[in-house]
Amino acid sequence: MTIRHNRLRAWVEEIARICEPDRVHWCNGSREEYAEMIGTLQAAGSAIPLNPALRPNCYLFRSDPSDVARVEERTFICSRHRDDAGPTNNWADPEQMRRDMLASYRGCMRGRTLYVIPYSMGPIGSPIANIGVEITDSPYVVVNMHIMTRVGSRVLDQLGEDGEFVRGWHSVGAPLSPGQPDSTWPCNPDLSKKYITHFPETREIWSYGSGYGGNALLGKKCHALRIASVQARDEGWLAEHMLILKVTPPSGRPHYIAAAFPSACGKTNLAMLEPTLPGWKVETIGDDICWMKFGPDGRLHAINPETGFFGVAPGTSMRSNPNAMRTLRRDCIFTNCVLTPDNDVWWEDMTETPPPRGIDWQGKEWTPDCGRKGAHPNARFTAPARLCPVIAPEWEDPAGVPISAILFGGRRGAVVPLVVEARSWSHGVFLGSIMGSEMTAAAFGKVGTLRRDPMAMLPFCGYHIGDYLAHWLRIGTRTSADRLPRLYFVNWFRRSADNRFLWPGFGDNIRVLKWIVERIEGRANATETPIGRLPTPESLDTSGLNLPAEDLHELLRFDVDGWRGDISDIEKFHASFGDRRPAQLREELAMLAREIGAL
């Protein structure tokens, strides 16, 4: 392969001198290359082929028990000035971090191959897309990046001789001595040796020690969110942790909706929703990342920069997400799931009846009554988006799709009603800034604890969270109000006094989307409250639902006492932004407090 980009070639040569790999391979993105990588992984005992009659061209991997999820405590933003990282990020001095990591990188690829992965986040050539290059010594990363991004020669052609690109440097941190057998999951098991480091000003990502998920697939959270959020701030667009879906009512006029939810709050389920209302259709644009730029029409246009789904497997089923299950029938990678006796995969809640036995995610014999989970709670599937049966025809449109509404949501058992429409852009940004959710296995922290998570970006914003919210407010001034998306606050997880879920969720979430579409089109009623506009009971379509009137009342109730109790917590969270707390958010909170008598 001829490399015309001199800076790229020189960078790869420099990394090779430091890491000392046995060989260097430039990835071309071909099917033959993917098959070769899978063959390498099978020979190492890493890739377990699944039953081709059940899941053709699918493979199971088991990670080291020390390497099962994102490691937020070892994730750093190395901005030049500490204040620019903000209170929600781990900051480290960039020069000291470079010195420390270079010491680890020296010789770290001995006995291994250095893979160069040129990739495009977004359709190649799109004005919303962005190019990166990841260097890695993990063939597992290569095959996942093949699925998740556009990899190879066409990307290099687009990059040309001097194009800009995000530089990603990754190693599993496990050099091999001559004759030393390799692990089936090479990594550095010492947590203190793991680093996922971002240098926002120079658009670099350095990752060491982990081979798992967003720690190693640097196009995902590292590039698409942490680095891209800084690029978006500097260039006047939005890089967000959001799904994108297409909703088409019986009238035939589609609307495109983006939605931000923390992990394990139903983002992928909503992106692939199977509507329960006749005549309504939902199609998928993306399930995790949304990049939005203003188009010539003054509206925000969005792309899904990825080409695959890297989803949490446990909880995914024909009930919760039938379209995801249909996507997983072939050409997929599974990580940390149960291997069944017929060489298929299984995870908790996948079926009503579990298999009688299997091999769990740690390679141990497993039965349903053995007292431990068969799949890791953060077990994953990597699936090509093109296989989704409801993928929208325009999902790869280089111009993106025009966004009509943006949803903010989390997992709240009380206080937050089913759906609220913001009164204005700044009010919607305020609602997005206070969203919170119970912690999950995909995030670092105590499971079940409420964590405020503005726009679901707390773990992924590459700069000060106060500046991030100020950027959102500035975006609202860049076009007329009628061209901006409407903003909504949703909560599928409201519970009754006896701890029942009040809303059926899943496919019935189309009823909330219907109300939102009808609000956009001026055809649905709402009630004004201090937190925004709530549906009237008659405006929310509950036809065919066995939903008691008292449950509907509770779902749509403005819980004034609950919001009074939340005010001090919101104030404390906003105050943590320091002097970068946007004045408009201070004013929105003060207005809410006055209206509910919480001052």
Active site residues: 265
CB count within 10 Å of CB 29 equals 21
Closest CA to 512 of 405, 390, 403: 405
Residue labelled with tokens 């009010």: 427
CA 190 – CA 269 distance, rounded (Å):
35
Q: Are 592 and 563 in contact (CB under 8 A)?
A: yes
CB under 8 Å to 310, separation ≥6 — which residues? 144, 148, 213, 214, 217, 220, 288, 380, 381, 382
Half-sphere exposure of 332 (CA within 13 A, CB side): 29
SS (H, E, C) 516-577: HHHHHCCCCCEEEECCEEEECCCCCCCCCCCCCHHHHHHHCCCCHHHHHHHHHHHHHHHHCC
Structure tokens at 581: 């707390």
**Strands 238-240, 195-199: parallel, antiparallel or unpaired by DSSP?**
unpaired
Please name the amino acid found at residue 305.
P
Cross-strand partners of 49: 59
Angstrom CA distances, 511 to 153, 266, 517, 586, stand at 45, 16, 10, 33
CA 216 – CA 172 distance, rounded (Å):
8
Q: Which helix (H) or strand (E) holds 233?
A: helix 228-235
CA 460 – CA 204 distance, rounded (Å):
15
Angstrom CA distances, 344 to 54, 136, 310, 584, stand at 7, 29, 19, 53
CA 570 – CA 433 distance, rounded (Å):
9
Q: Are 325 and 168 in contact (CB under 8 A)?
A: no
SS (H, E, C) 24-76: EEECCCCHHHHHHHHHHHHHCCCCEECCCCCCCCCEEECCCCCCCCCCHHHEE
Closest CA to 486 of 572, 439, 424, 442: 424
CB count within 10 Å of CB 288 equals 25
Closest CA to 561 of 530, 586, 591: 530
